[in-house]
A and B are shown apart, each in its own frame.
Chain A
Amino acid sequence: MFSKYPRKKIVLYSLIILFFIMMETPMIMLGNKVEPFVFGLPFLLFWVLLWWFICTALFLIGYLTNWGSKSTDTESK
């Protein structure tokens, strides 16, 4: 079904979907605790920041790899 998409596009979008599942479904409750403190941060805060960092990094990778598409986009920035 997904054969038409390049592999890197599938991986990228799957990881982004994973982020939203971890953050915005009841899965967020997995991180909903105070202890243990990590780097001086309460666990929930650390947990949310960790996922935020992963997803922001994915968006940077998205930009650098043209979001997984072969592009004929020749216009300059």
Chain B
Amino acid sequence: MTVGVLIIAAFMIIPLAVGLLAATKSTNTSEDFFIQGRGMGAIAVFFTVAATWWSSFAFLGSNATFYTDGPVYLTALAWNLLFGLMYYLVGKRVWYLGKRFNYVTPSDLLGDFYNNEKLRVLVAGILLVFTIPYLQIQLTGGAYLIEVASGGVIPFWLAALIFYFIIVVYVWVGGIRAVAWTDIIYGALLFFGMLFAGIYVSQNLGGPTGLFKNLLETSPEHLTLPGPQGAMGFPAWFSLCVVTAIGAFMGPQLWLRMYAVKSGKLFNLMPFLLGFAAIAYMGSLLTGFSGVLLEPGVENPDQILPIMLMKYAPFALASLILAAGAAAAMSTANSQIHAVSTIVTLDIYKRYGNPKASQESIIKVGRWSLVIFSLIAYVMALVVPGVLVTIGIAALAGTAQLIVPTIGAITWRRAHPTAALWGLIAGITTVLLITFVPAFSQPFGFHAGVWGLLVNAILFVTISLSLKRTDHKVVKRFDDARYEYNKEYHPELIDELKKKEEKTV
């Protein structure tokens, strides 16, 4: 027991120290606090993106899904690659525009391109409303892991409180730099923790090959779609991939991590790094499948990983891996709390409350909104129960809707503000209807988020094509930005344009 508490203590103190160290590098400007003055280097960016994107949803939810529904979670390998590809194709353009026009929040970009105040508010609102449930599941997952890893010495409410306190302290003093530095530790712990847990636990069944042979005899339906319950076939496979990758990618915490990057070259490498890291899910697969054979009938499948480790691994090792799981939750939660406070400070306080606010008062509001949002998430973690994957996906389905106007803004000069606004409203309404009204439950097995995106995209394109933008100055400004972007990164497109012009002349 004491070993467990010691591991938890180390796990708490090390990030705190790293966070405080990062704080000594801060300059007291709001740009530094929110996006590290657009100067984040390669290693920090990779780890903070990966650790932010891999949450307790990945750490606990993946094991749980392999355990209850068989192989559907393998679609994670594709969604990691999709996420990486978007980071290059969309993220690099968002980064470029952010640098050029000095954006800090998602609303800055969408509000500026669409030149529409309502849209700006709607975007901020969607991000706040849909990030909070996702934040709550991080705290729930993290606190639960701390409780188990300490051998029950630290109860859930206290674990969640400690968890929240530590995040607030280092984000308060160090801003996004402290988040990114601590994420380097969390990311490494998480990756090796997941893989190692699976390999270790499966040794009880003769390693991976023995495990699969056993499973073939006792529960072969765990090895193919649609899984043992028969509910997770292709529609679920596809929905999980699309909604998770796009929803997480559009989360405000990831968006800030596009603006914060120092060099455009890094975006070229991210697809490979993020795709490669997905191999850690093989650990979850081994843990979940071992659970099917060794511990059938666990009531709350989210607990399968802690149960397996506590029973089949030495206590110290189990605690260490569970602390890594808490790290997964914390590395997402810290970024979300930071991102949500950024939106409140810049999109609401600065824009509508006090446009002339000084740097000091902006940072001050940023810090206090950290505390308030953490408190809301804390209370929610205590009172709202729920399965991690289900809540997670519902929240992601909401933020995913932003991809439609975002792609419009970075690629299409005809993209129209009215189209973006109604597309988003219709997309979100579709998500809410399908999620909460039983009569509409998941048509053809596809998730609410997929239907939302479909409705959203169709409306967006149709309305954009039937209306014309009159704010030529804004359209021209973005045309120029796109031209400059292509000139710098895709010169072959420019050569072609020139050739065409010469021909017509």
Within B234-266, the residues touching A (CB, 8 Å) are 234, 237-238, 241-242, 263-266
Within B406-426, the residues touching A (CB, 8 Å) are none
Chain A residues with Cβ below 8 Å from B75 are: 23-24
Interface flags for A62-74 (1: CB within 8 Å of B; 0: not) read: 1100110111110
Chain A residues with Cβ below 8 Å from B279 are: 52
Interchain CA distance A19-B237 in the complex, whole Å: 15
Residue of B78, B84, B237 near A59 (CB, 8 A) is B84
Q: Does B22 contact A (CB under 8 A)?
A: no
Chain A contributes a number of interface residues (CB within 8 A of B) equal to: 43
Which of A37, A45, A51, A56 gathers most chain B CB within 10 Å? A56
Instruction: Indicate if the CB atoms of B489 and A45 lie closer than 8 Å.
Output: no
Taking the closest CB of chain B, its distance from the CB of A51, in whole angstroms, is 8
Residue of A24, A29, A70, A75 near B491 (CB, 8 A) is A70
Q: Does B117 contact A (CB under 8 A)?
A: no
Interface flags for A33-53 (1: CB within 8 Å of B; 0: not) read: 110010011101100110110
Interface residue tally of chain B, by bracket? Answer: 35 or more
Instruction: Indicate if the CB atoms of B272 and A40 lie closer than 8 Å.
Output: no
* Nearest opposing residue in chain B for A60, CB measure: B272
Q: Does B220 contact A (CB under 8 A)?
A: yes
Taking the closest CB of chain B, its distance from the CB of A3, in whole angstroms, is 8
Instruction: Indicate if the CB atoms of A45 and B272 lie closer than 8 Å.
Output: no
* Nearest opposing residue in chain B for A33, CB measure: B224
Taking the closest CB of chain A, its distance from the CB of B413, in whole angstroms, is 18
Interchain CA distance A70-B220 in the complex, whole Å: 50
Instruction: Indicate if the CB atoms of B493 and A32 lie closer than 8 Å.
Output: no
Instruction: Indicate if the CB atoms of B268 and A63 lie closer than 8 Å.
Output: yes
With A63-B271, A69-B490 in contact, do A42 and B85 touch (Cβ < 8 Å)? no
With A56-B81, A75-B265 in contact, do A62 and B272 touch (Cβ < 8 Å)? yes
Residue of A24, A67, A76 near B78 (CB, 8 A) is A24
Residue of A29, A42, A67 near B216 (CB, 8 A) is A42
Q: Does A28 contact B (CB under 8 A)?
A: yes
Taking the closest CB of chain A, its distance from the CB of B72, in whole angstroms, is 11
Interchain CA distance A41-B74 in the complex, whole Å: 14
Instruction: Indicate if the CB atoms of A73 and B77 lie closer than 8 Å.
Output: no
Chain B residues with Cβ below 8 Å from A45 are: 71, 74, 212, 223, 285
Chain B residues with Cβ below 8 Å from A33 are: 224
Interface flags for A1-24 (1: CB within 8 Å of B; 0: not) read: 001111001000000100110011
Instruction: Indicate if the CB atoms of A62 and B208 lie closer than 8 Å.
Output: no
With A4-B492, A24-B238, A75-B263 in contact, do A34 and B268 touch (Cβ < 8 Å)? no
Instruction: Indicate if the CB atoms of A41 and B275 lie closer than 8 Å.
Output: no
Instruction: Indicate if the CB atoms of A55 and B81 lie closer than 8 Å.
Output: yes
Within B448-505, the residues touching A (CB, 8 Å) are 487-493, 495-496
With A71-B491, A73-B265 in contact, do A20 and B82 touch (Cβ < 8 Å)? yes
Q: Does B165 contact A (CB under 8 A)?
A: no
Interchain CA distance A69-B492 in the complex, whole Å: 7
Instruction: Indicate if the CB atoms of B268 and A67 lie closer than 8 Å.
Output: yes
With A40-B209, A73-B489 in contact, do A19 and B81 touch (Cβ < 8 Å)? yes
Instruction: Indicate if the CB atoms of A56 and B224 lie closer than 8 Å.
Output: no
Instruction: Indicate if the CB atoms of A52 and B278 lie closer than 8 Å.
Output: yes
Instruction: Indicate if the CB atoms of A34 and B223 lie closer than 8 Å.
Output: yes
* Nearest opposing residue in chain A for B210, CB measure: A40
Which of B75, B220, B234, B272 gathers most chain A CB within 10 Å? B272
Q: Does B42 contact A (CB under 8 A)?
A: yes
Q: Does B368 contact A (CB under 8 A)?
A: no
Chain A residues with Cβ below 8 Å from B276 are: 56
Interchain CA distance A43-B436 in the complex, whole Å: 37
Interchain CA distance A20-B285 in the complex, whole Å: 22
Instruction: Indicate if the CB atoms of B216 and A77 lie closer than 8 Å.
Output: no
With A52-B278, A55-B81, A71-B491 in contact, do A29 and B268 touch (Cβ < 8 Å)? no
Q: Apart from A32-B224, A32-B225, list 4 A-B contacts with CB within 8 A.
A: A24-B238, A62-B272, A73-B489, A77-B42
Taking Cβ atoms with an 8 Å cutoff, the residues of A that contact B are 3-6, 9, 16, 19-20, 23-26, 28-29, 32-34, 37, 40-42, 44-45, 48-49, 51-52, 55-56, 59-60, 62-63, 66-67, 69-73, 75-77
- A sample of 23 cross-chain residue pairs with beta-carbon separation below 8 angstroms, ordered by A number, consists of A23-B78, A28-B225, A42-B216, A44-B223, A48-B74, A48-B78, A49-B77, A51-B77, A52-B279, A55-B81, A56-B272, A59-B81, A60-B272, A62-B268, A63-B268, A63-B272, A71-B489, A71-B491, A72-B487, A72-B488, A73-B488, A73-B489, A77-B42
Taking Cβ atoms with an 8 Å cutoff, the residues of B that contact A are 42, 71, 74-75, 77-78, 81-82, 84-85, 88, 208-209, 212, 215-216, 220, 223-225, 234, 237-238, 241-242, 263-266, 268-269, 271-272, 275-276, 278-279, 285, 487-493, 495-496
